[in-house]
Amino acid sequence: MTQRLPPPAPNTILGHSRAIAVLGLPLIGGHVAQFAIGLTDTVMLGWYGVEALAAVTLGSTYFFTIFLLGSGFAFAVMPMVAAAAGAGEERQIRRCTRMGLWLSLAYGVLVMPLLWWSEAILLMLGQEPDVAHAAAEYLRIAGWALFPALLYMVLKSYLAALERTQIVLWVSVLAAGVNALVNYVLIFGNWGAPELGVTGAALASLATNIFACLVVLGYALKVLPEHELLKNFHRPDWEMLGRVLRMGGPIGLTNLSETSLFAASAMMMGWIGTVALAAHGIALSLGGLAFMMHLGLSNAATIRAGNAFGRRDRDHMARGALVVMAMSLGLSVLGMVLFLTMPEALISLFLAPDDPQRVEILLIGTALLAAAALFQLMDGMQVVALGLLRGVQDTGVPMVIAALSYWAVGIPASYLLGFTFGFGGLGVWFGLVIGLSVAGLFLMIRFWRRSIKLVGTSKTAAAR
Residue pLDDT, tens place only, 245-277? 998 889 888 888 887 888 788 788 888 887 888
Choice among 52-66, 86-100, 163-177, 211-225 with the minimum mean pLDDT: 52-66
How many CA atoms are closer than 13 Å to the CA of 373, on its beta-carbon side?
A: 15
CA atoms of 225 and 357, how far apart (whole Å): 55
155/392: higher pLDDT = 155
Query: Does 161 have pLDDT greater than 50?
Result: yes
Share the mean pLDDT of the chain. Answer: 83
Look at phi and psi of residue 313 and say left if phi exceeds 0, alpha if psi is from -120 to 50, else beta: beta
| Residues 122/128/131/137 CA torsion (nearest 10 deg) | 40
Query: What single DSSP character describes residue 176?
Result: H
Using DSSP's 3-state secondary structure scheme, residue 209 falls into: helix
Using DSSP's 3-state secondary structure scheme, residue 4 falls into: coil
The mean per-residue pLDDT over the stretch 319-333 comes to 89
Predicted confidence band of residue 439 (pLDDT cuts 50, 70, 90): very high
Give the pLDDT of residue 462. Answer: 41
Tens digit of each residue's pLDDT (9 = 90 or more) over 363-407: 888 888 888 888 788 888 899 999 899 888 888 899 999 999 999
pTM of the full predicted structure? Answer: 0.75
Radius of gyration over alpha carbons of the chain, in Å? 21
Asked whether the beta carbons of 29 and 173 are under 8 A apart, the reply is yes
The one-letter amino acid at 446: R
Share of the chain above pLDDT 70, in %: 94
Asked whether the beta carbons of 424 and 449 are under 8 A apart, the reply is no
18/42: higher pLDDT = 18
Tens digit of each residue's pLDDT (9 = 90 or more) over 410-424: 999 999 999 999 888
Helix 424-449 × helix 274-311 angle, to 10°: 10
CA atoms of 353 and 439, how far apart (whole Å): 39
Asked whether the beta carbons of 265 and 432 are under 8 A apart, the reply is yes
Give the pLDDT of residue 2. Answer: 45
The mean per-residue pLDDT over the stretch 168-183 comes to 86
19/340: higher pLDDT = 340
| Residues 286/288/289/291 CA torsion (nearest 10 deg) | 130
